[in-house]
């Protein structure tokens, strides 16, 4: 991948990252006490839900093809074993140990 493809990838990828932030905008809240906050949740949720999921899927497929035109996919463990992919993610159950 070179030339204009690099520009295309980074432009679409940066947009995708912004889109992910927008879609997660209301995340992390357990409760909205004030009417103003409740209204902001309702309105932003309405806008987020209006996003065209088909277009988002098209964007994801395009990024996947730009990253690997052959469309290969791997399991995480295979990436670690075969390609020395970093395995530095925390164990999700580690916090359960006393």
pLDDT in tens, 12-66: 999 999 999 999 998 887 777 888 888 998 999 999 999 999 999 999 999 999 9
pLDDT computed for residue 31 by the predictor: 78
Which whole-number Å values give the CA distances from 3 to 6, 7, 22, in the listed order? Answer: 6, 7, 30
Could you tell me the pTM of the whole model? 0.70
- Please check the confidence at residue 71 and state whether its pLDDT lies above 50: yes
Determine the structural domain holding residue 32 and report its residue range. Answer: 4-96
- Please check the confidence at residue 91 and state whether its pLDDT lies above 50: yes
Q: How many domains does the chain have?
A: 1
Instruction: For residues 68-73, give the mean pLDDT.
Output: 91
Instruction: For residues 61-75, give the mean pLDDT.
Output: 92
């Amino acid at each position: 991948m070179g030339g204009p493809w690099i520009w295309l990838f980074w432009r679409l990828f940066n947009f995708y990252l912004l889109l992910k932030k927008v879609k997660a905008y209301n995340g992390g809240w357990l409760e909205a006490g004030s009417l103003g906050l409740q209204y902001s949740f309702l309105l932003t949720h309405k806008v987020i839900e209006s996003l065209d999921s088909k277009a988002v899927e098209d964007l994801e497929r395009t990024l996947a093809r730009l990253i690997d035109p052959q469309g290969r996919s791997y399991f995480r463990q295979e990436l670690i074993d075969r390609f020395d992919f970093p395995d530095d993610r925390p164990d999700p159950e580690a916090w359960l140990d006393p």
